[in-house]
Structure 1
Amino acid sequence: MSEEPGSLAGRLEQLLLGGEPCYTRRDLVERAELPLETAEELWRALGFAHVGDDQRIFTQADLEALKSVTQLFDAGIVDRDSSTTLVRSWGRSFARLAEWQATLFARVAAEAPDPEARVGELADDVIPLVASLQEYVWRRHLMAASGRLLDRPEGDAPTRAVGFVDIVGYTSTSQHLDESELLALVEGFESTASSTVVEHGGQLIKTIGDEVLFVVDDPVEAVRVARVLSERHAEDEEFPEVRAGVAYGAVYSRLGDVYGSTVNLASRLTSLARPGTVLADGGAHEALTEADPDEAEFRLRRIRRASVKGYHHVEAWRVKRPRKRDEG
């Protein structure tokens, strides 16, 4: 249902949806020349609820979006089979971002003397700036991703290092923290992990509350990331105690995520690692040994073989600090 044009909700609707709702779903697909079933599937993939035939909730912006989808189909950029997966990925990503932004705007408005007036100001002035910055960030990431693909040789799945870093005792710790304290813990962990990964030329693939997953082309840099984070608690008690695992091998990418046996092995190594330590698999061990034959930076000690889910007798090495020169 459309909001009153002069109301605050109406102003938000006008700004965010690009005009007043005037189309039903059938109006939309007829004008976009797209099958109704396809449009409904894409709408659900975005994460939105079913819309009845008599509900006029769609705007000109919705129509232009559907026309753009048709153009992508015609250009062969995406096909109708894979489009739902792509749109679902968009929906999940933007839903999380929008939820966070709406909470932030609501908090800012609530602190103002006139909350409704402040919401209006945010709608008129701030949201367009945020939209512009989001496009800028997307373009920058698109350029970076394109550069990585152009630099990568053709062939099978690229060989990359995968790292997992996991907060030790997160479940028990979270039970003794209030919401603000838990949020500070997680944000501090994610912020430090993200900056460390980027500083070493890697990509933070995803965060899962108490765990981060990252990839780096160079296994040496991946182990450096893991070691910096695993040693952080000893220097800063505010940073949680963590453990890490790094594996090096073929890594498959899809819609911004990574998967394959190398990813699985890195996760399993993390579960075997002791607090404050890093475990490396055979591929990472070989690369580190070649890069640092004198153990000037890394000391690698084989650990006892262990069995974990999906892997029997995992072979792994603990990454330790090198001995000081005056040690025997």
Structure 2
Amino acid sequence: MKESDSGPDGVEGLERAILGEEPVFNAAEVAAETGITVDQARRLWRALGFPEHGAATAFNKADTDAVRIVSGLVESGLIDFDLAVTLTRAVGQTMARLADWETTALLHRVEEMSTEEDDGGHSGRVTSAMRMLEEFSAPFEKLLVYVWRRHLAASVARIEALGANEEDLHTTQLSVGFADIVSFTALSNQIGEDRIGDLVELFESRCSDVVAAQRGRVIKSIGDSVLFVNDDPIRAYDTAEGIINVIGRDPRMPDVRLGLATGSVVMRLGDVFGPPVNMAARLTAVARRNRIIIDARTAELLPDDEFETRRLPARPVRGFGLVEPLAVRRH
């Protein structure tokens, strides 16, 4: 590590500014402080997505407080330890992506600040990052709690509205959509790294806006594709059509293909699983550029007086055998 990268004014100083404390405990001491075993402490730490530190002093008081909160929930009987690990993993994975996203989004502004202060070097960026943290962290933490509460309320309402049966609250009927950029691999080899990053960000943000406008939910985005769900097949179609309008019809953006499938899915850990998910993804390989392809179940649910469907030649679809997909458009 270079000298400029360490010390109170370097990366270590920046890390301390974020965490707010110096490390004072090792794993065994965290376990002793919180009343759990070392193995349990390590399981929670791994669930958060962090590497183990062996016997090294790597944990601070905030770490022990967090473990104490989780162990308190287990001791109360509200949840068992396995469920605690599951919830901890969900928090870890979500926050890891958020932290990366936040850092990437703010990096350009930090560099602008260091240039404005006539110091665009490493030390200038660290100083600007420190100032950004001081002014940004507190309001952003409040925003995090607010957004989490809003999404929690929406999730609970969604489960009730979907009418999940009492025997399996994780299973429900949904229309699943898969939007895929055409020839993304070839495209990424043709344009620069900065441009491909901007393109993916614009693709994801436009898709997310369309999905939200149709009261759907983005489940995940994987660079060149977005998986979304909606409890209403008409709204799912409108989402697909909207994505084509804001992506495929924009001459500055690549073409897209959309697949829609409807059926029973399992909702777990913020993700969805089941045949409709796989079918929607497979259908994108069948769709023409800037077209929507649907499965038979979705076609049955779309009103004949609003939509026109056309059966395409049967073809083998991996995992489903011979399938007759349908092209669809509004009258």
Give the alignment's TM-score, normalised by structure 2: 0.87
1:98 alignment partner in structure 2: 99
The 5 Å alignment of 1:1-328 reads: 7=9, 12-53=14-55, 55-111=56-112, 112=114, 113=117, 114=119, 115=124, 116-155=126-165, 156=168, 157-233=171-247, 235-288=249-302, 292-294=303-305, 297-322=306-331
Question: How many angstroms does 1:15 deviate by?
Answer: 4.2
**Partner Cα separation in structure 2 for residue 149 and residue 259 of structure 1:** 16
Worse-superposed segment, 252-261 or 79-88: 79-88
Structure 1 SS opposite 2:281: helix
Question: How many angstroms does 1:168 deviate by?
Answer: 0.7
Partner deviation per Cα, 1:111-148 (whole Å, 9 max, x = no partner) = 31242432221222212222222222112111111211
Tell whether the 8 Å contact from 1:22 to 1:57 is kept in structure 2 after alignment: yes
Structure 2 SS opposite 1:20: coil
**Partner Cα separation in structure 2 for residue 321 and residue 105 of structure 1:** 42
CA distance 1:94–1:22, change in 2 (3 Å): same
Question: Aligned-residue CA RMSD in angstroms?
Answer: 2.1
Worse-superposed segment, 95-104 or 194-203: 95-104
**Partner Cα separation in structure 2 for residue 190 and residue 106 of structure 1:** 19
Structure 2 SS opposite 1:271: coil
**Partner Cα separation in structure 2 for residue 252 and residue 39 of structure 1:** 30
**Partner Cα separation in structure 2 for residue 318 and residue 99 of structure 1:** 39
Question: How many angstroms does 1:91 deviate by?
Answer: 2.1
Aligned-pair identity in percent equals 37
Letter in 2 for 1:161: S
Question: How many angstroms does 1:260 deviate by?
Answer: 0.8
**Partner Cα separation in structure 2 for residue 36 and residue 20 of structure 1:** 21
CA distance 1:243–1:285, change in 2 (3 Å): same
Worse-superposed segment, 69-78 or 135-144: 69-78
**Partner Cα separation in structure 1 for residue 180 and residue 228 of structure 2:** 12
Structure 2 SS opposite 1:215: strand
Partner deviation per Cα, 1:149-174 (whole Å, 9 max, x = no partner) = 23332414211110001111111111
The unaligned stretches of length 5 or more in structure 2 are: 1-5
Tell whether the 8 Å contact from 1:13 to 1:20 is kept in structure 2 after alignment: no
Worse-superposed segment, 41-50 or 69-78: 69-78
**Partner Cα separation in structure 1 for residue 146 and residue 10 of structure 2:** 28
**Partner Cα separation in structure 2 for residue 84 and residue 224 of structure 1:** 38
Give the length in aligned residue pairs: 313
Question: How many angstroms does 1:7 deviate by?
Answer: 4.7
Tell whether the 8 Å contact from 2:210 to 2:239 is kept in structure 1 after alignment: yes
Letter in 2 for 1:117: T
Give the alignment's TM-score, normalised by structure 1: 0.88
Tell whether the 8 Å contact from 1:270 to 1:279 is kept in structure 2 after alignment: yes
**Partner Cα separation in structure 1 for residue 326 and residue 107 of structure 2:** 49
Question: How many angstroms does 1:233 deviate by?
Answer: 4.9
CA distance 1:7–1:228, change in 2 (3 Å): closer
**Partner Cα separation in structure 2 for residue 83 and residue 41 of structure 1:** 10
Letter in 2 for 1:264: N
Tell whether the 8 Å contact from 2:9 to 2:127 is kept in structure 1 after alignment: no
Worse-superposed segment, 42-51 or 97-106: 97-106
**Partner Cα separation in structure 2 for residue 125 and residue 117 of structure 1:** 13
Tell whether the 8 Å contact from 1:268 to 1:309 is kept in structure 2 after alignment: yes
Structure 2 SS opposite 1:239: coil
**Partner Cα separation in structure 2 for residue 217 and residue 125 of structure 1:** 41
Structure 2 SS opposite 1:166: strand
The unaligned stretches of length 5 or more in structure 1 are: 323-328
